Amino acid sequence: MPITHITRRERFSAAHKLAKEEWSDEQNMEVFGKCSNPNWHGHNYQLFVTVKGETEPSTGFVVDLSALGDLIKERVISKMDHKNLNLDVDFMKGKMTSTENIAIAIWDQLYEPIKSLGAELHKIMLQETENNYVEYYGE
């Protein structure tokens, strides 16, 4: 059967900052600039989850998109939307909340569950603003 990639977009709005707790505000400002604002800032993140697999002949689906959407909502969106990524999200604890690290952490949240849908996670794409996004392929 032909192999296709299918992508589902979900969104979340969250607060975060880039700062090391052991550094002073001045040191953080020097390295992370305005992203280290002590009182936080935030974004409308767009998350694109791409899975890969053979199309199932009777449905023409790689994966049931609605089941994939539910899984992303359960494992990621419900934990990140309208939250503080540094303080409220269990799987970000102790990590810098750079877009790179968030994308990697979302991969880890979704990789096994997507297998149980019969498909394979191919890529996490996470867009922080209209001017930047990160892609992670599990490498």
Catalytic residues, by residue number, are 35, 82, 128
| Smallest distance, its own copies to C-beta of residue 70, A | 12
Tell me: does residue 28 bind its own copies (CB under 8 A).
no
What is the C-alpha to C-alpha distance for residues 121 and 110, in angstroms, rounded to an integer? Answer: 8
User: CA 97, 101, 105: angle at the middle one, nearest 5?
Assistant: 110
- Residue 62 or 75: the one with the smaller Cβ distance to its own copies is 62
Strand-pair partners of 11:
46
- Pick the binder of its own copies from 44, 93, 111, 112 (CB under 8 A): 44
Tell me: does residue 62 bind its own copies (CB under 8 A).
yes
- Give me the phi and psi of 18, to 5 degrees please: -105, 110
| Smallest distance, its own copies to C-beta of residue 135, A | 4
Tell me: does residue 39 bind its own copies (CB under 8 A).
yes
The interaxial angle of helices 99-115 and 65-72, nearest 10 deg, is 130
